[in-house]
Amino acid sequence: MDNELELEKYKQDGLDMDHAETQEVLEDVAFYRTLFSNVCMIGEADNWVLIDTGVAHYSKRIIAAAEKRFGSKPPKAIILTHGHFDHVGSAKDLANHWDIPIYTHDEEIPYVTKKKEYPPTDPTVGGGMNSLLSTFFPKESDNLKDLVHPLPDNNEIPYLKDWKYLHTPGHTPGHISLFRESDRTLIAGDAIATEKVESTIAVFLPIQKVHGPPAYFTPDWVRAEESVKKLAALEPEIALAGHGLPMEGDNLREQLNHLAKNFKEDAIPKHKRN
């Protein structure tokens, strides 16, 4: 379908797509900030992949943003950093629309195919409205059983030859981050955040600062700390997290190293349910 006709169809459905614009981080890296989380587009028009898919019912906005950036060229695949509702919500709709596969870590597949459930959220942590509201967040998403595949064991990412994935568990068992060594670009998922996710105000008025993973959704703080230290050791030049604006340079590295060294004090809630 012609791009203009497609966008007009979306507007007739009651969705104004004018705001659906990506923000470019690098020539081949851009992101689109959805209601709760970022989706990332890596690559050029003839060969690109989508990282994460936002919440449910965001597929039309993501398609519109992608078409503004790449024209009619669909992505080769969807890569999920993990399976929480704000990262996998539109995955099924997008995969079916584009007729493409979904990939995630082998340890995450049981959670996106309804064989396992994540632990319940902990609304007692974080000191913000989002933490209190987390008990009402969706507990389930679409079953991706016939669409999802495990990432290869060699840490390679399909269609992205210059990128590798790192297993960065803690926030979820199969959480991954993506890294390109040539320019030290990091796609961190929810292993870290660059805004205080627990706070509703911070989500709408973001201030760039490196934080630990969203507290209300993180059950394994030991592994989460190990993952942050792994990311800090990469000494990234640019980082895009699942929540917040991109950060770069010395400021990024200094804050990430500080978090890695002071994780217990700065990231782990003093009073947590689990």
| Nearest C-alpha neighbor of 47 from the set 78, 79, 76 | 76
Q: Is the pLDDT of residue 205 over 80?
A: no
- Indicate the domain borders of the chain: 19-266
Q: Given pLDDT bands bounded at 50, 70 and 90, which one contains residue 216?
A: confident
Claim: this prediction has a pTM higher than 0.85: yes
- What percent of the chain is predicted at pLDDT more than 70? 82
Averaged pLDDT, 34-58 = 94
Give the model confidence (pLDDT) of 144-196 as tens digits: 999 999 999 999 999 999 999 999 999 999 999 999 999 999 999 999 999 98
Q: In the structure, what pLDDT confidence band is assigned to residue 35 with cuts at 50, 70 and 90?
A: confident
- CA distances to 172, 174, 203 from 162, rounded to whole Å, are 25, 22, 32
* 215 CB-near residues (< 8 Å, 6+ apart): 122, 125, 126, 131, 197, 198, 267, 269, 272
Q: Which residue has the higher pLDDT, 84 or 130?
A: 84
pLDDT at 131 over 60: no
Please tell me whether residue 229 adopts helix, strand or coil conformation. Answer: helix
Backbone phi, psi, residue 34, to 5°: -85, -170
Q: How confident is the model at residue 270 (pLDDT cuts 50, 70, 90)?
A: confident
> Homologous superfamily of 19-266 in CATH?
Ribonuclease Z/Hydroxyacylglutathione hydrolase-like (3.60.15.10)
Among 70-79, 135-144, 256-265, the range scoring the smallest mean pLDDT is 135-144
Q: What percent of the chain has pLDDT over 90?
A: 73
pLDDT tens digits along 231-253: 999 999 999 999 999 999 999 99
The pLDDT of residue 272 is above 60: no
Long-range contacts for 150-158 (Cβ within 8 Å, ≥24 apart)? 150/103, 150/104, 150/105, 150/106, 150/109, 151/79, 151/103, 151/104, 151/105, 151/106, 151/176, 157/49, 157/79, 157/103, 158/49, 158/76, 158/77, 158/79, 158/101, 158/103
